[in-house]
Amino acid sequence: MSKKILIVEDEMINAILLKKILIKQGFQITVANNGEEARHLLEREQFDAVLTDWMMPHMDGIELIRFIRANIRPTPLIIMITALVSETAKKYALESGADEFIAKPIDTDDIVVRVNDGLKKIEQAKEQSKEKAKLNKKDIEQINEANPPFPAVAIASSTGGPPVLLEIFKNLPSNTKAAFFIVQHGPIWMLETFAQRLKKETEFDVLLGEDNLTIEEGKIYVAPGDKHMIIDADTFKIKLDDGPKENFVKPAADPLFRSVAKAFGRYTVAVVTTGLGKDGTQGLYYISKVKGSIIIQDPATATAPSMPQSAIDTGLNHRKVELKELAKAISEAVFPLSASIKIKNR
């Protein structure tokens, strides 16, 4: 059965264009002229995706997104399509709960890719996570007892992630003795802006991941928006991988988790927060294999609960915590690891 998409657009020309593009891809399309009309439709029937304009009468796109996040289950893919393209507008839309942000005028190929990848992430999240991930035997055999200079905290985050990450690092002491690696799904512009904001609003030194960048304790490394970020276990340097998407995204958390498991072993703390899909789930098996720690945001406190719920469904040993307790949980996990390294290196 073809997927159902709700287009919310008060400009008829734009609505017709979107409808033609998506019908050609085999989708069933319904059009609403404003957010209020869309709200009534969403209360009566289920849609797989909602593509909404921002500035509309009666109920604007931001209000609609917040209504969907708070009230509609299962939550559809949400894409904001708007002519408001300032950095502030983009950040506001994504932090309000949009999965994707697309600027007008519409690029036909781009919107088709974004819709298809987003829907695939939703389908992926519905798969049975309790089926054990297929671990690469060669990778596992190469994982020896790691001897890192300090612990690592690797964080997977997607829809609704920036406010969560800010909450974590505003409340985490800047002298926490670990290196921090973040995969936040998003385009280049978003991650560059987010890294700057994280540096400005916290006491941490924040860097975008670069090829051959040496890892240092106490710093945060954010994966750039067009490549996977991995850790070289021999040199403890960052490597950027321009390989294919994993879990329909690039950067993805799974490549980071696999490499951190190899480089830092049991001195790893993996964290999965809010997000659409199941990125990070497969990588957690590697973290578990080396006896690293796993912390998962309580899905009930997540803007998009499917990533943390998928992680929980693995059945791997983990600590589930509410958003406001994430910083404390990370600090408590890092402290004994840091102390152990210090004692070992005396």
Looking at the structure, do residues 200 and 334 belong to the same domain, yes or no? yes
Q: Work out whether strand 77-82 and strand 49-52 pair parallel, antiparallel, or are unpaired.
A: parallel
Looking at the structure, do residues 229 and 328 belong to the same domain, yes or no? yes
Our answer to whether residue 185 is catalytic in this structure is yes
Segment 3-20, tens digit of pLDDT: 999 999 999 999 999 999
Looking at the structure, do residues 142 and 48 belong to the same domain, yes or no? no
Q: How far apart are CA 265 and CA 293, in angstroms?
A: 10
Q: How far apart are CA 326 and CA 318, in angstroms?
A: 13
Looking at the structure, do residues 251 and 279 belong to the same domain, yes or no? yes
Residue 146's pLDDT is 79
At 264, is the pLDDT very low, low, confident or very high (cuts 50, 70, 90)? very high
Looking at the structure, do residues 141 and 215 belong to the same domain, yes or no? yes
Residue 113's pLDDT is 95
Which range marks the domain in which residue 31 is found? 4-126
Q: Last residue of a domain, which of 69, 103, 126?
A: 126
Check whether 200 has a pLDDT greater than 60.
Answer: yes
Residue 85's pLDDT is 85
Is residue 103 domain-resident? yes
Q: Last residue of a domain, which of 104, 126, 148?
A: 126
Residue 306's pLDDT is 93
Contact 99, 125 (CB under 8 A): no
Domain CATH code at residue 85: 3.40.50.2300
Residue 13's pLDDT is 93
Is residue 30 domain-resident? yes
Task: Determine how many CB atoms are found less than 10 A away from the CB of residue 331.
Answer: 17
At 1, is the pLDDT very low, low, confident or very high (cuts 50, 70, 90)? confident
Total number of domains constituting the chain: 2
Is residue 106 domain-resident? yes
Looking at the structure, do residues 53 and 177 belong to the same domain, yes or no? no
Our answer to whether residue 234 is catalytic in this structure is no
Is residue 171 domain-resident? yes
User: Mean pLDDT of all residues in the chain?
Assistant: 93
Segment 211-253, tens digit of pLDDT: 999 999 999 999 998 899 999 999 999 999 999 999 999 999 9
Q: How far apart are CA 220 and CA 46, in angstroms?
A: 40
Looking at the structure, do residues 21 and 147 belong to the same domain, yes or no? no
Looking at the structure, do residues 242 and 187 belong to the same domain, yes or no? yes
Looking at the structure, do residues 53 and 115 belong to the same domain, yes or no? yes
Looking at the structure, do residues 232 and 262 belong to the same domain, yes or no? yes
Mean pLDDT computed over 313-317: 94
Residue 132's pLDDT is 53
Q: Last residue of a domain, which of 72, 107, 126?
A: 126
Domain CATH code at residue 211: 3.40.50.180
Looking at the structure, do residues 100 and 174 belong to the same domain, yes or no? no
At 139, is the pLDDT very low, low, confident or very high (cuts 50, 70, 90)? low
Q: Which of 48, 185, 288, 293 is catalytic?
A: 185
Looking at the structure, do residues 20 and 147 belong to the same domain, yes or no? no
Mean pLDDT computed over 150-171: 97
Is residue 247 domain-resident? yes
Q: Which of 96, 129, 157, 158 is catalytic?
A: 158
At 202, is the pLDDT very low, low, confident or very high (cuts 50, 70, 90)? very high
Is residue 132 domain-resident? no
Is residue 131 domain-resident? no
Our answer to whether residue 48 is catalytic in this structure is no
Longest Cα–Cα distance of the chain, Å, equals 71
Residue 129's pLDDT is 46
Q: Which of 279, 288, 293, 310 is catalytic?
A: 279
Segment 329-344, tens digit of pLDDT: 999 999 999 999 988 8
Segment 26-81, tens digit of pLDDT: 999 999 999 999 999 999 999 999 999 999 999 999 999 999 999 999 999 999 99
List the alpha helices (DSSP H) in the chain: 12-24, 35-44, 61-71, 87-95, 108-126, 137-141, 161-171, 188-201, 253-264, 281-289, 306-313, 326-344
